[in-house]
Amino acid sequence: TLCSRSDHSEDQCFATRDASTKAKAKAAQRTQYQRSGKGKRKETASEASKDAKDASDTTQKSAGAATVSAGCASALLSTSDRASWLSSPAATNWNTDTGASAHMTPHRHWFHSYSPHVIPIRLANSHIVYSAGLGSVVFQPAEREGVVPPAVVLHDVLHVPAL
C-alpha cells in the first residue's frame, strides 16, 4: 500500500484515496490560478521533467506490485482498425494527462531511453494488456506564433504495443 502498512489492501488504503483527492484539488487549484491570468509563466523542460518524475515516483509507490490502471484508455482490437488509426494524423498527437497513473504509448520509436519492463495494465474495459518496456520520451511542443517552446521530457513512459 502507499502507506507501507500491511494490515489492509491497496483499495482500502486511506493514503491512496487521500492522494487522489489531493491531486484533484491541486489540479483544480492550478486550473483556477491559470484562468485568473496569474499562472502565465513558461514551464521549462527541466521543471516539467521534475514534475513528471515526482508523479511517477508517487505512482510507483502507490502501484507497488499491483497493475497500472489506464483509466479511460482502450486498446484497438482489430488489426485493420489499428492500421487505419496509425496512418491518421491523430497517431502522432500526444495527449499528456498529468493526472494519469502512467503515460503510455504504442510507439517504440518515440523513446529516447528504453529498457524492457513488463507490467500488467488494466484498461477501462477491464481487459489486461502488458507493457513491453519503460523509458523516457522527449516531446517537442508545436511552434506557436514563430516561437518554438522548449522540449518536455516525459520519464517512466510505458511502451504498450497493444494500445
User: What's the pLDDT tens digit per position in 24-73?
Assistant: 666 666 666 656 655 444 444 445 444 444 444 444 443 444 455 555 55
Cell output for 76:
484497438
Residues ≥6 apart with Cβ < 8 Å to 109: none
Closest CA to 152 of 50, 49, 79, 80: 49
Q: Is the dihedral of CA 4, 8, 12, 14 positive or negative?
A: negative
The pTM assigned to this predicted structure is 0.44
Q: Which three cell numbers stand for residue 98?
A: 498529468
Tell me the average pLDDT of the chain.
69
d(CA 131, CA 16): 23
91-142 residue pLDDT tens: 556 666 666 678 899 999 989 999 999 999 888 888 899 999 999 998 888 8
pLDDT of residue 122: 85
